[in-house]
Amino acid sequence: MRPNNYKIHGGHKGLQLSFAGYFQGTTHQKGLSLNFNLNSIDVSEMSSYLQHFNREFFFEESSELTVVQSVRHKRAKYYFNELSSEYSMNLTDMKIKLEDVHYNYHHDFAYFNIMFIDSYESFRIIDPGPKTATEDFSEFYLIILYSISKHPEKEIQQIFDYCWSYYTVNVALLLQTQEENPILLYTYYPFTSKFCHRVQLYIINHNKSITDLKGFELFPDKFHNFHNCTLMAALWNVPPYLTLPKRGQSGGEMEGMEGMEGFLLNVLAKVLNFRIAYITPPNNEQRGLVKPDGTVTGAIKMLNNRVADLSLGSFRCTLERSTALSPSMTFYQTMQVFTVLALRQPWTSFEIIAYPFDFHIWLVLLALMLFLLSSPHILDHLRHKTLKFIYGFSSPNFININVIAITLGQTANSLPQRNFARYILFMWILLTMILRSIYQGSLYDFLKSQKTLAPPDTTAELTERKYQLILNMATGDSFSGIQIIRDKLIEVLIMNISDAGGFPLLEANPQKRYVTGTPKDFLTYYVNTHDKYGVFHVLKETIFSQQLCMYFTKHSYLVEPFNHVLQNLRSFGLIDYWAELVLDDRFLEEVDEVSTETPLTLAQLSGIVQICLYLYLITFIVFVGEILWFKFNKRD
Asked if residue 624 belongs to a domain, the reply is no
For residues 265 and 374, membership in a common domain is answered with no
Query: In the prediction, which pLDDT does 218 show?
Result: 94
Are 175 and 87 in the same domain?
yes
**Do 203 and 122 fall into the same domain?**
yes
What is the signed CA dihedral for 52, 54, 56, 59, rounded to 10 degrees?
Answer: -160
Q: What is the per-residue pLDDT for 255? A: 55
Q: Which pLDDT does position 39 carry in this prediction?
A: 52
The answer to the question of residue 615 being in a domain is: no
Cβ 123 vs Cβ 101: under 8 Å: no
Do 145 and 197 sit in the same domain of this protein? Answer: yes
Give the model's pLDDT for residue 199: 96
The ranges of the chain with pLDDT < 50 are 1-36, 248-254, 591-596
The domain boundary residue, chosen from 390, 422, 449: 449
Is the domain of 363 the same as that of 493? no
229 and 212 in a common domain? no
The answer to whether residue 605 is domain-embedded is: no
Alpha helices (runs of H) in 287-410, residue ranges in sequence order: 298-304, 319-324, 349-354, 359-382, 384-391, 396-407
Q: Is residue 635 part of a domain?
A: no
CATH number at residue 178: 3.40.50
Residues 176 and 233 in one domain: no
Are 9 and 62 in a shared domain?
Answer: yes
End-of-domain residue from the set 176, 198, 218: 218
Per-residue pLDDT, 593: 45
- Whether this prediction's pTM lies above 0.75 is answered by no
- Supply the pLDDT for residue 424: 75
Same domain membership, residue 338 and residue 321? no
pLDDT digits over 236-278, tens only? 999 999 998 875 444 444 456 889 999 999 999 999 999 999 9
| Burial class of 95 by CB neighbour count within 10 A (0 to 12, 13 to 18, 19+) | middle
Both 467 and 558 in one domain: the answer is no
H helices of 138-259, in order, are 152-165, 215-218
Between CA 475 and CA 490 the distance in angstroms is 16
Q: How far lies 342's CA from each of 88, 287, 346, 533, in Å?
A: 75, 31, 13, 10
**Residue 275, pLDDT score:** 94
Q: Find the domain containing 232 and state its range.
A: 223-327+549-587
Quick one: 401 and 464 in the same domain?
A: no
What is the CATH number for 253? 3.40.190.10
pLDDT of residue 450: 62
Give the pLDDT score at 34.
Answer: 40
- Give domain status of residue 481, yes or no: yes
Task: Judge contact between 302 and 255, C-beta under 8 A.
Answer: no
Collapsing DSSP to helix, strand or coil, 334 comes out as strand
Q: Are residues 319 and 385 in the same domain?
A: no
Tell me whether residue 505 is in a domain.
yes
* Residue 238 covered by a domain: yes
DSSP E strands, 479-538: 491-495, 514-519, 536-538
Residue ending a domain, among 449, 471, 488, is: 449
Query: Is 253 within a domain?
Result: yes
Number of folded domains that form the chain = 4
